[in-house]
Amino acid sequence: MSALSDKRAMRLVLKIAKPVFDYALPERCPSCGEISTDGTNFCAKCWPHIRFLNPPWCDSCALPFDYEQPAGARCAACLADPPIHDGIRAAVAYDGTTRKIALRLKYGGRIGLAKLIARHLVRHLPADRTGMIVVPVPLHWTRLWSRSFNQSALIAQELARLGGLVYAPDVLLRIKRTPSLRGLSGKERRKAVARVFRINPAKAHVLSGARVILVDDVLTTGATSDGCIKTLKKSGANWVQLFCWAHAAPL
């Protein structure tokens, strides 16, 4: 009986320790899993297949332009119907490969991938970072308890560190647990996340006139991020830009 208990205890220790070691010492290409010289980068075989997003693009939705545009240029759709955010900045286009990386972080416990994502996002931070804070899209406490970490918070924390910004993880709260949004339409998603977010009363003062970098892992319909942005702006933030690993809109 003692030997069985020891084995169970060892499995529990390894389960807890694996994400910690992964965060500190990622060893393999995040796409194919092959050993690479630097675990936070893609291997030479996978790198050409990742579509990294860069200007020239719409300053608002990050839709790529076919040719150079003046700084701050927006696409026709954003000019006709201005979004509530102050810009989207994504590291990569969403496809089978980049989706796999997001899922490995979110559900596979590969928390070291948060460092990879932050390293590819830091290049999109504005040069002027005055009054800027970094806020993750929050999880409901029940989801956080079952998963043991918030993938968006891990990315946000590392992005703040790399960019020399204030990390504010407890400003925005998710007060209701929503069902899985997978497979829902944009309208259904917006309905599901309505009145889900609230500002932490003890931290509301930091939003007065603040510029916020809101961090999520993947942008699909934008329903969740829009819910967060509305809450942040109602509480005093005067500028909110969304940073994410992968952009799922047609690019």
Residues 36 and 86 in one domain: no
Its domain, for residue 24, covers: 8-49
Mean pLDDT estimate for the chain:
86
Q: Do the domain assignments include residue 3?
A: no
Reading the chain (251 residues) residue by residue, the pLDDT tens digits are: 455 555 565 555 545 555 555 545 556 788 787 766 654 578 878 888 899 999 999 999 999 999 999 989 999 999 999 999 999 999 999 998 899 999 989 988 889 899 999 999 999 999 999 999 999 999 998 888 888 899 999 999 999 999 999 999 999 999 988 766 666 666 767 777 778 999 999 999 999 999 999 999 999 889 999 999 999 999 999 999 999 999 987 76
Q: Which of 207, 203, 140 is nearest to 170 (CA)?
A: 203
Residues 133 and 228 in one domain: yes
Q: Do the domain assignments include residue 2?
A: no
pTM: 0.84
Residues 144 and 173 in one domain: yes
- In sequence order, the 6+-apart residues with CB closer than 8 A to the CB of 42 are 29, 30, 31, 36, 50
Residues 235 and 130 in one domain: yes
Count of domains observed in the chain? 2
- pLDDT at position 186 is 65
pLDDT tens digits, 66-97: 999 998 999 999 999 999 999 999 999 999 88
Residues 96 and 29 in one domain: no
Q: How far apart are CA 231 and CA 203, in angstroms?
A: 13
Q: Do the domain assignments include residue 24?
A: yes
Residues 142 and 203 in one domain: yes
pLDDT tens digits, 91-106: 999 998 899 999 989 9
Residues 72 and 24 in one domain: no
Task: Give percent of the chain above pLDDT 70.
Answer: 82
Contact 150, 135 (CB under 8 A): no
Q: H/E/C letters for each residue in 125-162?
A: CCCCCCCEEEEECCCCHHHHHHHCCCHHHHHHHHHHHH
Q: Do the domain assignments include residue 15?
A: yes
Residues 40 and 148 in one domain: no
